Structure 1
Amino acid sequence: MSAEKESYNTNFENTELRPLSRKDYKDIEELISKTWKYDSLSSNPKDAKHLSRLYLRSCLKRSTFSCVAVSEGKAVGIILVSSEKSAPRFTITRSLSQIYAAMLLLSTKTGRTIGKVFGGFEKVDSELLENSKQSFDGEICLFAVSEECRGAGVGKRLYSAAVDYLKSEDARSYYLFTDTTCTYQFYEKRGMKRIGEKKVGLRPYSNHDLNMFIYSYKLE
């Protein structure tokens, strides 16, 4: 899933882009939690922390490229990409960290309920990809930008870095999953095409339904 919103903001124009490092994890986990409002899913604040940790680790496990936006020493944006041409960097520590995050989330009753909901989201993603009947060379696994710096071009720069990486990998196409909690118009403005969608109920967390999408792009 991904999130980026466009407005006008000049306070972060000199934001530095660099590869992700472990010292950024805490900032990125907080960014993930705020972006997708994990705090609203449970009365236990630890659930949001564990869920964001688990989500980051699951994205890292399959990614082959990372880029973070840093402003005044704080990570305010991230994009993770997977290329079929390159194998993800496997480490025992990363795998154990993902397992540990899952155990922490599932250690509470509310956490187990949330885990089932997000497990359902993963099934929908798999279904959307299968139903597209297309194969891809790359995936944008995670894309999020802090609300405070949206509109300063940070998201555009991160997205461009991801596309440049995929081009360097000789990728011909890539895809991503997103939904109505994100500003999916960002991708449409950059030529990505919606190739599938499905409506998912969010009860008891919300009275509204969620539309989940898969977008794709063919590189020249």
Structure 2
Amino acid sequence: MKQTTAAGALTETALCPSDYARIVDAFHAQWGWETQGAPGLGRRVADWYCSKMMQHVTFGRLLIAPSGGTAGLAVGSVFGDRPVLGRDARLPERRAALQREIAAQEGGPETIALYDNIARINEQLRRRARENGHIFAAELYFLWVSPDYRGCGLSRRLLNAARTAMKARRAKNFCLFTDTDCDWKFYMRDPWVACGREPWPDVPGMEGGAGLMFGAAL
């Protein structure tokens, strides 16, 4: 049941190193269905993906429910800033160990290939955007709201919090990547600018899809 009336009781906090598990949980809740293979693999895949993403995250805002659960979060990077988790988290080693474990599971190699394809498409979009004069100072990596709190305006609240964090670091603009499996039409209006579209390869799990890049001024 949506907790619309409880949305005002949420506590907003800045991301800290101890919040890593919250990020993994949120990513698994949002994208665990993409995992190919055995039950339980999705959580390890989420950890594997986040162990790379969090090497670059320099800011984040979380909304914490009275119960202590995560109601929503937004994380991203202002390029050139120090990552929140820093080098002490040993994220590269964590990712390498998880990748070996996932690759040995049924469906694991296919899932790794899916995410590698998405990363490759995003880099192609980034390169073409630069060639077309779209150069960004920051990037929003992940914005998520718990199903219990959707419909309460929290996505906009978190986006505004992320924008404030980026502006505080003197970023003038930012970008994000999404795809046609998401609600991408949200970005087809001001202040967003479409920076590119790249078809996904015709492989299992990606047939007919496309990667998308959008940018916005701050």
What does residue 95 of structure 2 align with? 98
Distance 1:29 1:68 in 2: 13
Aligned length: 211
Instruction: Give the TM-score normalised by structure 1.
Output: 0.84
Q: Deviations over 1:94-150 (max 9, x none)?
A: 332222222222222411121012101100000001011222110112212222211
Map 1:145-164 onto structure 2 (within 5 A): 145-164=145-164
- Kept in 2, the 8 Å contact 1:15–1:154? The answer is no
Unaligned runs of 5+ in 2: none
Distance 2:202 2:46 in 1: 18
What does residue 15 of structure 1 align with? 10
- Kept in 2, the 8 Å contact 1:32–1:52? The answer is yes
Distance 1:157 1:106 in 2: 38
Distance 2:96 2:197 in 1: 30
| Aligned amino acid, residue 51 of structure 2 | R
Distance 2:180 2:197 in 1: 10
Check 1:77–1:100 CA distance in 2 against 1; reply closer, same or farther (3 A cut). farther
Distance 1:40 1:187 in 2: 23
- Kept in 2, the 8 Å contact 1:20–1:66? The answer is yes
> CA offset at residue 22 of structure 1?
5.2
Check 1:107–1:19 CA distance in 2 against 1; reply closer, same or farther (3 A cut). farther
| Aligned amino acid, residue 127 of structure 1 | Q
Residues 27-36 or 118-127, more deviating: 27-36
- Kept in 2, the 8 Å contact 1:13–1:154? The answer is no
Check 1:109–1:8 CA distance in 2 against 1; reply closer, same or farther (3 A cut). closer
What does residue 57 of structure 2 align with? 63
| Aligned amino acid, residue 17 of structure 1 | E
What does residue 30 of structure 1 align with? 25
- Kept in 1, the 8 Å contact 2:174–2:216? The answer is yes
Check 1:12–1:186 CA distance in 2 against 1; reply closer, same or farther (3 A cut). farther
Instruction: Give the TM-score normalised by structure 2.
Output: 0.85
Map 1:76-155 onto structure 2 (within 5 A): 76-88=71-83, 89-133=86-130, 134-155=134-155
Q: Does residue 41 of the first structure (1) align with residue 40 of the second (2)?
A: no
Distance 1:17 1:188 in 2: 28
**Helix, strand or coil at the partner of 1:54:** helix
Output the aligned Cα RMSD: 2.4
Unaligned runs of 5+ in 1: 1-6
Distance 2:136 2:108 in 1: 33
